[in-house]
Every structure is written in C-alpha cells, then in structure tokens.
Amino acid sequence: MPDAVPASLAVALEAITRVLSSARVPAVVIGGVAASLLGRPRLTRDVDILVDLPEARWQEILTAVEASGIEPRIPEAFDSHDEHVYCC
C-alpha cells in the first residue's frame, strides 16, 4: 500500500476489503483514502466505502464487519434505518 495512506487506515482498509471480498459484496473505496491512493495525499481519519448491498444482507455484513474489529464511525447508525451513514 502506498505511503499516501497512514498505517492505521491501511490496516482498516485491508480488514474491510477482506470481509467484503469473502462475502462477495461489490464495493468501492471513496473519500480521502481514495483521493490519497489515486492522486495527492489528503488528510482523513476514516475509510469510506460504498457498497452495493440489498437490505436483506445488511445485518449479515454488519455482523461480519464488527467481528473483524472494525467499528462504525457513527454508533448505532442503522438504528435509524438510514443506510447512508454507516461507514467503517
């Protein structure tokens, strides 16, 4: 992984990629990490990922993500049923 991404974010990115790949979930890295990898380094403290996931699989994937040690940026984000605010 390029030096453009801090080690802590690289670890998180590798973990979430592993979970999503093993679950066969289409996803793309967005935000500051993507900008840092594809262009110039950008200050960021989280990894933003956009997934293509039917609602029926949300709990399965959230359970797998949490089991890998990844925490949501917004606690209890899915309690509001707003699928746009959960980010690892």
| Per-residue pLDDT at 86 exceeds 60 | no
Type of residue numbered 25? V
Q: Give how many domains the chain has, as a whole number.
A: 1
Say which residue, 40 or 19, is predicted with more confidence.
Answer: 19
Query: Does residue 88 sit within a domain?
Result: no
Query: Does residue 30 sit within a domain?
Result: yes
Instruction: For helices 58-67 and 7-22, give the axis angle rounded to 10 degrees.
Output: 140
Q: What global pTM score does this model have?
A: 0.70
Domain membership of residue 60 as a residue range: 7-80
The string of pLDDT tens digits covering residues 9-33 is: 888 888 889 999 999 999 988 888 8
Q: How far apart are CA 19 and CA 42, in angstroms?
A: 25
| Per-residue pLDDT at 88 exceeds 60 | no
